[in-house]
Amino acid sequence: MKHEEAFYVGYVTKSRGLKGEVQVFFEFDAYEQLTFDVVFADMNGKLVPYFVASAKLQANKTGYFNFDDVDHIDKAQPLLKKKLYLPIAQMPERDEDEFFYTDLKGFTAVDETLGELGEIIEVNEYPQQFVATVLYRGTEILFPLNEDFIIEIDDEEKILTLALPEGLLDVYLEN
């Protein structure tokens, strides 16, 4: 399986107990809708399949997994901090009118005051908010995606119009 054929669901945070059980933190919003027969761990750029023996999902965006052939804490160690993927065919269907901040990747960010900032090259979810990354004047800048800063989202033109706080970009451009 190649990365293009899979979607990211989360990563292994730690091992639990002595029998190889691991805790997974989900960064995919609808993780409870996913089917976990096999997950693919990113091991040095290659997606390696791990067959799920058991999975217990928790309400706090975590789950506890046992994998076939990972029956001891030592066998679980190589999985720690590894990103996990599922085949794209297993991605749940979304309603047409559903929109997520992660859908903004590839949009052009335009600030009301500063003009065009550039293409959004990444959208990351942090515990408190989503953050977009843009390459502006050769420097990666980050800005929060929230209702206070977003003026308009133009789906057809793929333009995100913002009113960023004064001085936010100065933090990145001072050097």
Tens digits of residue pLDDT in 15-56:
999 999 999 999 888 899 999 999 999 999 999 999 999 999
Q: How confident is the model at residue 94 (pLDDT cuts 50, 70, 90)?
A: low
Give the model confidence (pLDDT) of 114-167 as tens digits.
999 999 999 887 777 889 999 998 899 999 998 889 999 998 999 999 999 998
* SS3 track for the chain: CCHHHEEEEEEEEEEECCCCEEEEEECCCCHHHCCCCEEEEEECCEEEEEEEEEEEECCCCEEEEEECCCCCHHHHHHHCCCEEEEEHHHCCCCCCCCCCHHHHCCCEEEECCCEEEEEEEEEEECCCCEEEEEEECCEEEEEEECCCCEEEEECCCCEEEECCCCCHHHHHHCC
